[in-house]
Amino acid sequence: MSKTILHIVNGLGRGGAEVILVRIINSWDKNLGDRHVIVSLRNNCVFDKNRIDADVHILEFKNPFSWVSELIKLKNIVNSRSVDVVYAWMYYSCIASLVAFFLRKPSVWTIHHSFHNFSNEPLKNKISIWLCSIISWLSYIKKIVYVSDVSRVHHEAFGFCDKKSVVISNGVNCEDFKPNVLSDKLNRSSLGIPEDAYVIGCFSRLDPIKNHKLLLKVYENVLQHNKDVYLLLAGEGVAKANTQFALLVSQFRFIRQPILLGDCESMVELYNIINIYALTSLSESFPNAVCEAMACGVPVVSTNVGAVPAIVGDSGWIVENFCPQMFAKVIINHSEMNSSDRQIYSEAARERIGSQFPMSKTVEKYMGLSVLD
């Protein structure tokens, strides 16, 4: 029997959870006849709403004083759309899903966060996690979906209801992310990068947890060995116009300055510019960028965080203890490989994503969640 599924999400920016939500809805089996409704708690949509297979509503949860009026709007949307199930994506949305409790609707939470060191979490996150740990025991919540085992372990240890846990990894469509995707507007030539240059890439928002400082240290170490290496960075806040990031970059004496692109839509083209993807995060759950890079045939070197070791396997490298010298050594060794050896890593990365983390498997598991019994 077809059903109406309402998805509450913190916003509709370029974050991992938001991107996966849109991909899942657009890949949902149309033969089921299910209807999807998205309610964004913030007005920051970067997607073309006409290209989302859902009815999209934008609310304005700007501050605590707006919550009452916006929750009433949310309740009205649930009622007017005859919603059967409420999905909540991330902590604030999980709290907002209390509307489902009062309307006697079953709810599914999806958690896209891990906290390797809870003391480092911002205060608002600590409060949200604490509230969610209490709410998670209410009977209206039927399933709590985690995108990695690491995330599940962290949250269960903090007090989240362990009887409702399900792990569903994110996935990537390897037809959307593939090698040799060329662009006339965004390519090595347009960025002033020689075709035979070695390029390190990292595409993530500016946030302390993403640990760009370590990445810049790694780049500094690599340049001391090879001055012809380039570093390509993109993501919200990673731009020259951002004084905070410009100040961070100024602390280093680079022979060659990093290329900063800021927020960028053309992700497939970016992955096809770089030779290796470097993730230096302090904490992750299931970073989409790692899968996307690998699907494009780009091997990954990363800190030991979240599901990354399980994603990368033996197609890339995991660096322990946040050591910039070890990170740089991996990159230098890869840069000095001949083309045939590099191709082995490239093919292994793409094959691993295609076999282990296809988008079709992720969607199938979400469609298979039984919450209306």
**Contact between 16 and 112 (Cβ < 8 Å):** yes
Fold assignment, 188-356? Rossmann fold (3.40.50)
| Same CATH fold assignment for domains 4-171+358-367 and 188-356 | yes
Is the pLDDT assigned to residue 373 strictly greater than 70?
no
pTM (two decimals) = 0.93
**Contact between 237 and 260 (Cβ < 8 Å):** no
* Token digits of residue 340: 């045939």
| Residue boundaries of the structural domains of the chain | 4-171+358-367, 188-356
Residue 260 pLDDT level (bands cut at 50, 70, 90)? very high
pLDDT (mean) for 178-198 = 88
Identify the H or E element spanning 308. Answer: helix 308-312
Report phi then psi at 59, rounded to 5: -110, 175
Architecture of the domain delimited by 4-171+358-367? 3-Layer(aba) Sandwich (3.40)
- The confidence score (pLDDT) of residue 1 equals 79
Report phi then psi at 63, rounded to 5: -155, 170
* Token digits of residue 358: 């296809």
- The confidence score (pLDDT) of residue 23 equals 95
* Token digits of residue 15: 């974050």
Question: What is the rounded radius of gyration, in angstroms, for the C-alpha atoms of the chain?
Answer: 21
Tell me which amino acid residue 103 is: L
Identify the H or E element spanning 74. Answer: helix 67-80
Q: Residue 86's beta-bridge partner residues?
A: 6, 107
pLDDT (mean) for 335-357 = 97
* pLDDT digit string, tens, across residues 118-146: 888 889 899 999 999 999 999 999 999 99
Is the pLDDT assigned to residue 372 strictly greater than 70?
no
- The confidence score (pLDDT) of residue 120 equals 81
> Where is pLDDT greater, at 14 or 254?
254
Residue 3 pLDDT level (bands cut at 50, 70, 90)? very high
* pLDDT digit string, tens, across residues 59-115: 988 777 788 889 999 999 999 999 999 999 999 999 999 999 999 999 999 999 998
